[in-house]
Structure 1
């Protein structure tokens, strides 16, 4: 029996939708037939992304929505907006996140708190709110954003590693909680993707007196396939995990790292 990788007629939320990977996920879902709530903390950027992609995919509905994933009221408003726009929620691609590069011994407490707030608490709040909306339907696909730093700790990103290990662990726990309701919960662990987050990381290297270009080349050279990952690479995995192809997968943390992480 053949099966097409399609989410035709499904209704999705993408957080962090105005970023590189977020926009790629919106595009992938729309191309596969889903309506998408395009959520981002930057309201203007969410509107621009939705308007741009709506022109490319006129047969689906793309709705912009402002959302601060660290704020429960904002998250609840996002879910309410999705239900109002679409009637139900079938898919969540929970992309919103942040990173920085700070020496561990020099890292201020507020940087650690901010990293945990956005990456860990944000995942908790969004998954919780969306799961409440999915349970009555007894179906759904939740895909969180972890990282290779959620599989292996990196000394240059101690707080980020902690926050992404939290996402990986939460994904496993929520998957077990959601399984009786026929809801799949997985996460994607990207490797080195040149996003706005990486731009900021390279800026941090320069500010610390380092050679950002040399640092980037060094990181790429460690990848077995010898090339960075793209936003589209990550979006393809998000789409797979959001589709019927992944009906019997839950609690998984899938690496898209070019072989850099193998567990």
Structure 2
């Protein structure tokens, strides 16, 4: 497998990302990471996709990982989505004949949901894992406070695999500080925009852990009820926590994602 860096100018500075490729190139997969993390945490997902025949592209969002910007600060997710749209354009320029799928996790799932509303008709399908859609009680509680507490995400809520939390806590590219009010307000605005924009009729899959304490499934279910259109599918996993792509049943989750992708990839030309 070949892995290489990519860079381009995003809406607020230099965007840094990665591409993964193997011997086959049947489709393109765009990976969209969540809050406070970076695309390097999805290397195992990219490798599984490459083994399936994908060419994989991912970026670190503004203020995240190796990209430019104040750490964990996002003031407009519409512009973040446009950074991802630039990634899609780059992928298309390098592989113009391949269909494209998008996989977004957590905050990246929120970005993926809005991306599907804006540009879903150009994608073969979209997959949302543990997405922030609908209502998120933690967001409302934090915004109601006069001062945001210095309380970073507890690594224990990510996965039943303790090694995942340990690696997250030790990762210098992960943001380990508090939420910033401007980012929280941008999250709230994006949720409102998604709710107002309504149904996605293109193929879209929602996957969620039933024991997710960080983004509880009940709040996301409300958002899914507004989002799911004619080609929507959903599945949840008992006892799984927030990072279902890093959970003890991660291979089952990846199998489900690949099954959905192959259901919606166009037939190859003769």
Determine if the TM-score, normalized by the shorter chain, exceeds 0.5: no
Higher helix proportion: 1
Higher strand proportion: 2
Query: What TM-score bracket applies, with the shorter chain setting the length?
Result: 0.3 to 0.5
With the length of structure 1 as denominator, give the TM-score of the two structures: 0.44
With the length of structure 2 as denominator, give the TM-score of the two structures: 0.43
